[in-house]
Amino acid sequence: MSWSDPILLPGTANPAFAASLAGELGIPIAERVVQRFPDGELGIELREAVSRRPVVVVQPTSPPVADNLLELLGLLDAARRAGAERVIAVVPYFGYARGDSRHGRREPILARVVADAIQAAGASHLITVDLHSPVVEGFLTIPSNDVDPVPVVCAALAPVAEDVVVVSPDLGRARTATRIGATLDRPVAVLHKRRLSGGDVEVQRVSGEVDGRSCLIVDDMISTGSTVVEAMRALEAAGARPAFVVAATHGVFTGGARAALTDARIREIVVTDTIAPDPGAWPPTRVVTIVPAVAAVVRETLGG
């Protein structure tokens, strides 16, 4: 092995994803120690030389977001200070992507803060999956790639997509829903919603024909499940059959999501493995891997 051979440096947020990515790329995993001291401070030590080697750091900023974000920054800084030739940050789930703008004069733009921190910590390239807002890429001065989940999601949904309407839960997801509908050859409907708070939404109307049809609700993430619950309520009121499939790229599943989504009307929930699956996830959840798609982008970035 030459000193230019790449090595993968995994965080602790999703070790299975990191191991799978290393296997897909055919590169070794760096030995490291990540520990948290009694007062909550983080300690990181690389146990392997990375000098003059490309380093692929893998760490989603999933819950607990602050802890995992700080660990990502620590891993990036450790690799940079250890003399890595370049540091590629693979952040399958980019937390704070929803904070891409201000709604008042006294609010931060946290997506910009996080983007700046990742660059300052030493990342020379950022790879994400299905950013909540593409505006985030505009906050970066380093190269970036956002992996498209649509081919993976459509392949997973093809067996259950007969006689369904693909539903976007809001206008922001309408373009992706349209692409999924075109791939699966299914009609598309769009919900017009208003966000009342971080965990509550209200659907004001349904655009599209759903009467007597089953629905496939697609989104970039499932957090508390409130959007899905409100979408099902609005769709049933519009005449949809109470048999729903829900698909999202990121299965965040925080708060009361399990209680909210343990619902007889939901036939299945499909998410990708950008976030480590909950080992106690309820039976309708199916996790599909997006690792090969991410690996293709990393391989291109490495020049292989």
Within-domain flag for 100: yes
Computed over every residue of the chain, the mean pLDDT equals 92
Residues 252 and 209 in one domain: yes
Within-domain flag for 42: yes
What is the set of active-site residues?
193
Within-domain flag for 18: yes
Within-domain flag for 242: yes
Per-residue pLDDT tens digits for 149-200: 999 999 999 998 788 999 999 888 999 999 999 999 999 999 987 665 555 6
Q: Output the pLDDT for position 2.
A: 44
Per-residue pLDDT tens digits for 74-92: 999 999 999 999 999 999 9
Taking residues 40-51, what's their average pLDDT? 96
Taking residues 19-47, what's their average pLDDT? 97
> Are residues 49 and 30 in contact, defined by beta-carbon separation less than 8 angstroms?
no
Q: How far apart are the first and last CA of the chain?
A: 15
**Residue count of the chain:** 304
Residues 48 and 59 in one domain: yes
Q: Does residue 278 carry a pLDDT above 90?
A: no
Q: Does residue 110 carry a pLDDT above 90?
A: yes
Give CA torsion, residues 10, 2, 144, 217, to 10 deg.
-50
State the residue range of the domain holding 163: 150-272
Residues 81 and 131 in one domain: yes
Task: Please tell me what DSSP assigns to residue 151.
Answer: H
Question: What CATH number corresponds to the domain at position 55?
Answer: 3.40.50.2020
Residues 190 and 95 in one domain: no
pLDDT band at 3 (very low <50, low <70, confident <90, very high): very low
Instruction: Look at residues 48, 49, 88, 52 and name the one whose alpha carbon lies nearest to residue 72.
Output: 88
Within-domain flag for 93: yes
Q: Output the pLDDT for position 256.
A: 85
Residues 173 and 81 in one domain: no
Residues 139 and 163 in one domain: no
**Bridge partners of residue 188, in order along the sequence:** 166
pTM, full prediction: 0.93
Per-residue pLDDT tens digits for 213-248: 999 999 999 999 999 999 999 999 999 999 999 999
Residues 114 and 217 in one domain: no
Within-domain flag for 1: no
Residues 125 and 204 in one domain: no
Within-domain flag for 279: no
Number of independent structural domains in the chain: 2
